[in-house]
Chains A and B, each alone.
Chain A
Amino acid sequence: MAVDRELPNSLPRPEGELEALERAWALPKGFRLITAVNNQAIGIIYIGVALLFFILAGILGLIIRTQLAVPGNNLVGQDFYNQLFTMHGTTMMFLFAVPVVEALGVLLLPQMLAARDLPFPRLSAFAMWAYVVGGLVFFSTILYDLAPKGGWFMYPPLTLSEFSPGNNADFWLLGIGFIEISAIAGAIEIIVGTLRTRPPGMTLARMPIFAWAMLIFAAMIMIAFPAVILATMMLEIERAFGWPFFSAGKGGDPLLWQHLFWFFGHPEVYIIFLPAAGLVSMIVPAMAQHRLVGYRLIVVALIATGFFSFGLWVHHMFTTGIPSLSLGFFSAASMAVAIPSGIQVFSWIATIAAGRKPFRITSASLFVLGFLFIFTVGGLTGVMVALVPVDFQVHDTYFVVAHFHYVLIGGMVFPLFATLYYWIPMISRNMLSERLGRWVFWLMFIGFNLAFFPMHIAGLLGMPRRVWTYPGDLGWNSYNMASTVGAYILAAGVALFVIDLFRRFRPTMSGGVENPWSAGTLEWLPSDAYATRSIPFVTSREPLWDQPSLAREVNEGRHFLPGAPTGGRETIVTSAVDALPQYVIRMPGPGWSPLIASLGMAGFFLLLTVKLVVPALISGVVFIVAVLVWAWSLDHDANVPAVDIGAGIRLPVYMAGPVSHSWWAMTVLILVASSLYLAYVFSYFYLWVVSPDVWPPEGSPALPHIFWPGIIGLLILGGTVLLLFARRILPAPGSTSRAFPFVVALAMACFLVALTGEIWGHWASGLRPADNAYATMVYMACFLNLQVITGCVFLAGFTIARYFTGKLDKERRVNFESTALLTYYAAAQFLLGLVIIHVFPRVAI
């Protein structure tokens, strides 16, 4: 055959190569399946649970609609109604929308990148189990009348303990805490995965759009989630210990919560929408059998949306009394964000129009078309509410409820259903029924519009949201009845889908339907538990269209890394921009530790919430032990010879320092920590602008003498220098360096002493955290430093233990590198904090 190009590996493949691959990647059997870490297995459970939450929250939505069907109804009481809409909104946003997207990332990304797995398989498992356990416990509070009732954005002062006694609100804070942790773990995984485990040749410019979307999704999580993490920490601390962050009487400000929440909450909407748009950008070309028109413009749109979405948060606060010029900025930005979304819509339409054959109408494409229609309507009402005077009028009415369901259901639920119809064949022996699919679509489409369109009118007629019932003489009755009927039709569509799912979905890793849509991207290569037999060399954006023999070549093992040369799980790590192979990463197989760690973590927080301290501590210990066991096995022996992946390329199988994936993960984590700290810095200055009167010297005890922070700063610098020195005395492989563990320990001691000194200094000046907003901010800085330093101390202890067991040296030094990176960051954060806390009040006017 003339087409036999030069391929990385030649035929025949050596005996036993395939078997080694199979052995390395085999799924555990029987009940041990729950210890699996393969991305396909994790991904399927993850999506399944997210869909379960969609259904559960949808049932709450139906109860809400049933209650509102007729005026003066008393199916549910007022208090329970408050729980219903709070849980409905919270579950939909935090337990369904974000997790399902992460789940799709876990399932689809490695397949689209032809990687054998994501770089941290156990982290995905941990994120998934933490979500399952935390989510189920959180959701079950609705059954015991313990559910939060402050609305999904939980504004203080309503949610402070004076006005929301009991544990209900704490469960919200806790449940969300879980999802935050799990989302961030997922984001780290996704960033490092898309940037570093692409197949050789897949440069940034050749990445599938979904990978771009997920990259931006994860970056947005990194910046947005820390704001709400800080806010939830502060609210919980205020509820538990009375630190007045949000109490105006002591210089706090409830609006601070709104700023922090919406700085997260608005991007959240795009965090949900961008991946969905990315999926649509994959489905449309396959159905049109034409390359995506305007690939570059779509990337532009994704990046621009990512940025612009952070400039909009104040539009949720138009009615709170903000200077009108600010309103102008945020109104302008809210309209500007429509442009990138518009670009995408036009690209899809152009792709549909450009196909030489007519656009194939399948269930997936119906859902895409439905999405285009509904989302565009939601976008139009979005531009309406971005106009400040319109918002004044419709704020907190059903018009807003209609608007955001149009964007959320249109922008993410419809694409999700398209996704399920489109990608289920990849992981199932059967496709879903196309015939039933039409029914599902039309029921959902008609039901949706019937349910939510009338809400616009009810809202314009003045019907407020979050009311448990209404009088019958306001002209709202027929709109509400229509909405309720529509909601049931929508639910019927979903139910039909679920029935079909049970009938036809038969999960498999090897027997999926072969490229049923003749798509051009790598996830449709024949695959198994080990993903593809060999990792393709990619030269374009739609490799399967441009290299018709690719599937055969890959399956014959003629591309890269056709076996398991170290005998374990491996995949290729490539450079971030141009995707040149750099090294082979060895990955862990199935294990109990992520599962147990997530249970321990769940136990710790839950038991703490209901104030069972001792069992909580025991759970905490379980968590730590599980994490230690898990981490211990991660850093492999460095003395393994390089392996041949094909085309004469030999790659090392151990990597430390800036090229390694663990260094990248730590960097991402540090970026998360710095966003958290920046949110804190914002809060500090915000409260100062609001109530400068509680700042020293007038409002609070004088600060410790400037000498004091000077010494503390020197200690921090000293600790950092010690760690720099420790790097130089790392022992050579096989030898020892007696000073090393002491230097590391001493460095940590410096940090701990500095922190204690800082706290003591303020305490001795007579300042107590519950005094006023200034005091809370001072001690909050200490608390944030404590968190990071605790992390450093744990890592340092781990490093020292590795040293004493002979598993740490100049070559094998990943653990040390992570410790050092985090500690440098801790020093920077601490020093910045010293300047803000000790210098700023002295120079402020």
Chain B
Amino acid sequence: MLEEQRPSLAPTFGYLMLGSLFWAVHLLVVYAAHTLICALASSPTASSLTVVALTAILALPVAFVLLNQRRTGRWFGISDELPDRKTYDAISRFIGLLSLAGILWAGVAAAIVSSCATGR
């Protein structure tokens, strides 16, 4: 096998975990943003809107990757010829699906609960 075609670790894991990375960023920013907005500006509307906006912004790329799985894989250095390509694609796809569900699922909270009221 030629040296330059060989997959290396960071991109491969990046590809496998792509969805979860977006999920993690989502949790981090919605949690931080709405806590800060509630603490500093105490504006429930602004807080809820931010959460909805961030959810949309982060859900879109995950959905995009899911629709372009193979192309994304190539972009991360998982070439079409790689013997385990299908396994990597499948793992990445399922992680993406789960993460998309996770992002939307958490984002829905903004529609249901009032944003800044103290929970107890």
Contact = CB atoms under 8 A, between A and B. Distances in A.
Interface of A: 195, 203-206, 295-297, 299-300, 303-304, 306-308, 310-311, 318-329, 331-333, 335-336, 339-340, 388, 392, 575-578, 580, 689, 845
B1 A580 contact: yes
A91 B17 CA distance: 34
A576 B9 contact: yes
Given A204-B84, A205-B88, A329-B31, A297 B94 contact: yes
A469 B24 CA distance: 43
Contacts of A324: 113-119
A322 B119 contact: yes
Given A203-B83, A303-B17, A307-B23, A323 B119 contact: yes
A318 B119 CA distance: 8
Contacts of B94: 296-297, 300
A336 B115 contact: no
Interface size class for chain B? 35 or more
B95 interface: yes
B34 A300 contact: no
A304 B98 contact: yes
Interface string B73-110: 00000000001100110110011001101100110111
B51 A325 contact: yes
Interface in B16-34: 16-17, 20, 23-24, 27, 30-31, 34
B21 to A, nearest CB: 8
> Per DSSP, are chain B's interface residues mostly helix, strand or loop, or mixed?
helix
B120 A321 contact: yes
A295 B108 CA distance: 32
Given A303-B95, A576-B8, A326 B35 contact: yes
Contacts of B109: 325, 328-329, 331-332
B120 A204 contact: no
A322 B118 contact: yes
Contact of B98 (A321, A328, A340): A340
A8 to B, nearest CB: 17
The 7 closest A-B pairs by CB, nearest first: A328-B109, A205-B84, A307-B20, A205-B87, A576-B9, A324-B119, A300-B94
B95 A300 contact: yes
A296 B20 CA distance: 16
A651 to B, nearest CB: 15
B7 interface: yes
A303 B91 contact: yes
B108 A325 contact: no
Nearest to A299: B91
26 contacts: A203-B83, A205-B84, A303-B17, A304-B98, A307-B23, A308-B20, A308-B23, A308-B102, A321-B120, A323-B38, A324-B114, A324-B116, A324-B119, A325-B34, A325-B51, A326-B35, A326-B119, A329-B30, A329-B31, A329-B109, A331-B109, A332-B108, A333-B102, A336-B98, A336-B101, A689-B36
A509 B69 CA distance: 47
B12 interface: yes
Contacts of B38: 323, 325
A392 B101 CA distance: 27
Given A300-B95, A336-B102, 12 more contacts: A205-B84, A205-B87, A296-B91, A303-B17, A323-B115, A325-B34, A325-B116, A326-B31, A326-B34, A340-B98, A392-B120, A577-B7
